[in-house]
Amino acid sequence: MSRSFNVAVVGATGAVGIEMLKTLETRRFPVKSIRLLASERSVGKELLFRDEIVKVEKLTAESFAGIDIALFSAGASRSREFASAAVAAGAVVVDNSSAFRMLDDVPLVIPEVNPEDVKLHKGIIASPNCTTTIMLVALKPLHDLSPIRRIIVSTYQSASGAGAKAMEELKNQTADYLAGRPVVPEVLPHPYAFNLFSHNTTIGENGYCEEEMKMVNETRKIMHDKTIKVNPTCVRVPILRSHAEAITIEQERKVSVEEALEALAKAPGVKIVNDAASNTFPMPKDSNGQYDVLVGRVRDDISSENGLSLFVSGDQLLKGAALNTVQIAELL
């Protein structure tokens, strides 16, 4: 007999929370009941799930009675405040924030990469940062061919990574710019329309920002290899919701382009977009709303004997956040 689950979505009215609801429905997750939780300002809002209206409730420590799986998308501070209450109530927490990712007793999981780690949970499972997730879905099949020793990656990150307010700011700034009105940043620190800038998380003593160090540390944890060298540069670009990444890797042995494409074509969660004749490769407009990570521009790194370069794009709200979280719940 198949089992159904009582599910809570924390941060249900945010950009990722809304995508979690859609993904649970689209993928026909076995939901017995759904509880939508958010801050006090969202209480009473109505969201549609499986053709039924569900009212948003206030998130409290008592919100998780009877819940089997709690999907968190409300940010690190809320996860730290309420995840333990959910676990104490008997729920398994799948957390999309940065709160628990690097804790030794919390598995950090991408289902296409390290699904077996789900079994190691002690009540909380973390979903990685969006940039790490999108990158490693593309790199895992190449790593399986020959271990990756070094990754150089530049990200082109969309407004959705900074939340619904940043997406709205990009729309408003674009309209202001085109109308000749002053462009005034409020959500992000710099003008966003027709501009790009280094990711606005804090720069550390080593010169790398927090977002970049997430890619370094999360990659090593997920791949179970502390020796992988990762050199990231993270940039915000004026795109609404899909990230793109330019990646160059060095492997233990030379992997040919043909061998790489064959492995990528068979890999779960990957779609090849690699039409050199028409100069068509992964683009954010094509990955919007897609579950798969688009991979293309696969070519030899002419500066390295054992190097490959590729270009990828993935929907930040889906594979970068909501979809990966729901897929972890599916593994449970």
Q: What is the set of active-site residues?
A: 130, 243
Distance CA 120, CA 221 (A): 13
User: Up-side HSE of residue 135: CA atoms within 13 Å toward CB?
Assistant: 32
The secondary structure of residue 139, as a DSSP letter, is H
Amino acid at 102: M
Which is nearest to 19 in space by CA: 330, 329, 310, 322? Answer: 322
Distance CA 259, CA 256 (A): 5
72 strand-pairing partners: 10, 95
Which H or E element spans position 196? none
| Burial profile 69-101: b = 16 or more Cβ within 10 angstroms, e = fewer | bbbbbbbeebbeebbebbbebebbbbbbbbbbb
Contacts of 328 (CB under 8 A, 6+ apart): 94, 109, 111, 118, 125, 127
Distance CA 131, CA 237 (A): 14
Distance CA 273, CA 302 (A): 21
Amino acid at 275: D
Give backbone dihedrals phi and psi of 124, rounded to 5 degrees, phi first.
-130, 135
Which is nearest to 189 in space by CA: 206, 213, 215, 209? Answer: 209
Which H or E element spans position 47? strand 46-49
| Burial profile 125-134: b = 16 or more Cβ within 10 angstroms, e = fewer | bbbbbbbbbb
